[in-house]
Amino acid sequence: MSTKPRILLTNAMHASVQADFAQHVDLVVAPDTSADTFRQLIRNIDGLIVRSHLPEDIFDHAPRLRAVVRHGVGLDMIPVGKATERGIPVANLPGSNTQSVIEFCLAAMLHFRRPLAQLDTQLRTAGWDAARAIANGTTELAASVCGIVGVGAIGGGVARMAGHMGMQVLGLTRTPSRLPAGVTQADHNTLFSQSDIVVLCCPLTPETHHLVDAATIAMMKPNAVLINVSRGPVVHTEAIIDALRAGHLAGAALDVHDRHPLRGDEAIFSTPRLLLTPHAAAITESSMRAMSEGSVEIVMALLQGRHHPNVCNPEVFSHPGRAGAPS
């Protein structure tokens, strides 16, 4: 019988990191991301690395589980409170994908302001003059107003990038004292009414659920662009669809959605001026490696009984039901 710890991956990791990890542990990769599959596989698992949403009752089915690590940053995929009740530490990887998301936001801005793919297609299909006519209607980022909702690590990075591009930056945050230099504090109505580009970088909370609804969109400029790299439910999807179809917004880039993965038959697929990506803002080769290596390091530290500064519920280390806890 193997004495190696048994680790469950909800999704595959960086290929070379996963291959090396498999040499040291008994590694299980979930064949799909359904709640029932996770409930079945978790029964004899010691450590869990998470890239997909877990069911709320997952820890009721995990008698051996001693460590949970988010392969990334956002913890909304994990019922952290339930883990805490059972004395299970939950950790994440702040900063592991920050640069990737910042660069994605810049790419999305340029997608709408300088549509190079459209220029290329028009040149190939309709000719030189038709392609140049599109360029005549494009605009530069410089002198635009960029509004950022949630000015943490990612939002702050977007703010610095926008400033370097010559944009005026407004920030809506719960901690205005921490706004980076060059970012002007703004309330909800001011940010949405004055911004040419709005970037959503905030966590999903009861306060931010459907933060961008029909009333908020109505405040926005008709030529404004919305970029969501936070969580799908921060935006009321139907309101965005209605606004884009009515021509009230110049465009929207949605990397996150109400339900993952998208099936392909949702109404957003037939909505104009909408850039859709599959929750890929944080994913590059380098960020995947960093997240995978970090996940491996932390899950093994926790299984060996070592504390880790990335644990989000450190109170579990004194939990009476946890191995090694004081009785």
Q: Rounded distance, CA 146 to CA 285, Å?
A: 28
Of 141, 142, 177, 171, the residue nearest 156 (C-alpha): 171
CATH topology agreement for domains 6-96+285-318 and 98-276 = yes
Q: Rounded distance, CA 112 to CA 273, Å?
A: 9
Give domain 98-276's CATH superfamily.
NAD(P)-binding Rossmann-like Domain (3.40.50.720)
Task: Report how far apart, in Å, the C-alpha atoms of 228 and of each of 11, 44, 155, 272 are.
Answer: 23, 37, 11, 17
* Domains of the chain, residue spans: 6-96+285-318, 98-276
**Tens-digit pLDDT profile for residues 122-156:** 999 999 999 999 999 999 999 999 999 999 999 99
Q: Rounded distance, CA 208 to CA 217, Å?
A: 15
Q: Which tokens hold the place of 132?
A: 């140049």
* DSSP string computed for 260-273: SS--S-SGGGG-TT
Written as tens digits, the pLDDT of the chain (327 aa) is: 568 999 999 999 999 999 999 999 999 999 999 999 999 999 999 999 999 999 999 999 999 999 999 999 999 999 999 999 999 999 999 999 999 999 999 999 999 999 999 999 999 999 999 999 999 999 999 999 999 999 999 999 999 999 999 999 999 999 999 999 999 999 999 999 999 999 999 999 999 999 999 999 999 999 999 999 999 999 999 999 999 999 999 999 999 999 888 999 999 999 999 999 999 999 999 999 999 999 999 999 999 999 999 999 999 998 665 644 433
Buried b (16+ CB within 10 A) or exposed e, 6-42: bbbbbeebbeebbeebeeebebbebeeeeeeebbebb
6-96+285-318 — its CATH code? 3.40.50.720
- Max Cα-Cα span within the chain: 79
